[in-house]
Chains A and B, each alone.
Chain A
Amino acid sequence: QVQLVQSGAEVKRPGSSVKVSCKTSAGTFKNFAISWVRQAPGQGLEWMGGFIPIFGPAIYTEKFQDRVTITADESATTAFLELRGLTSDDTAIYYCARTTCCPFNAFDLWGQGTLVTVSS
C-alpha cells in the first residue's frame, strides 16, 4: 500500500525558512498532483498550493504566493514545501496530499503531517 512519508518536526525562529519533504513509498508523482495543506492550532484545514510535475510550475493561493515554493525532485518521488519569512502564525501541522487531477480535485492519500513550530 502506497504511503506518503513526511520529514520530522521542526522548530524555527521567526524570520527563518523551513523545508518539509514528502516521499512516496512506491511509484512516483508523475501522474498525480501534490498539494500542501496546513492546520494551525484550533483552526481548520487550509490549502496552500499544488504541483503537477508533468505540467510544471506550482499554483499557490494568493495568501502564500510570495512566501511558498512547492517542488519535486527529478525522480518525482519526493515533494518539498519551502515556507519563508516564518512568523508565529505559521505554527501548524503541514500535510502533503496526493491530489487527483486535472484540474486539482480530491486529496486521496495523505502524509502523516509535520509539526512546524515557530518560536523565538
Chain B
Amino acid sequence: QSALTQPASVSGSPGQSITISCTGTSSDVGGYTYVSWYQHYPGKAPQLIVFDVNKRPSGVPNRFSGSKSGDTASLTISGLQADDEADYYCTSYTDSSTLVFGTGTKVTVL
C-alpha cells in the first residue's frame, strides 16, 4: 500500500485560505468516506482535526474544513493564523482493511 500523495509544502499569509490535497486511488480515498486529517507540531503528538471526510471533532475551529472529490481529498484552512504552521497528514481506510497516511504537508505562514 503506497502512501497517499500530498504536496510537500504549502504557504500562505495570515488571513488567507490554503488548501492541501491528498490523492489516492479508488482502493482507498476514492472508495471510502473514512478520510481523516491531522495537525502535527514537531515533538508533540498529532491531533485529529477532520474525520469522515468533513466532520470536525469538538473543539476544532471551523476554519478547518474537509472535502473529497473522486480519489482526492482536501483540507482547507481559512483565516490562516500563525499557529497553523505545522505538518498536516491525511489518512484513509483501504481495501486491505488497513489505514494509510499521506506523505505529509508542511504549512508555512508567511
Contact = CB atoms under 8 A, between A and B. Distances in A.
Interface of A: 35, 37, 44-47, 49-50, 59-62, 95, 99-100, 103-108, 110-113
Contacts of A37: 46, 101
B9 to A, nearest CB: 13
Interface of B: 1, 3, 34, 36, 38, 40, 45-48, 51-52, 57, 87, 89, 91, 93, 96-104
B98 A61 contact: yes
A44 B3 contact: yes
A1 to B, nearest CB: 12
Given A61-B1, A106-B51, A95 B45 contact: yes
B3 to A, nearest CB: 7
Contact of A111 (B1, B40, B45, B103): B45
Contacts of B97: 59, 103-104
B54 to A, nearest CB: 12
Contacts of A60: 98
Nearest to A95: B45
A105 B101 contact: no
Most buried by A among B1, B34, B99: B99
Contact of A105 (B1, B87, B93): B93
A104 B99 contact: yes
B93 A104 contact: yes
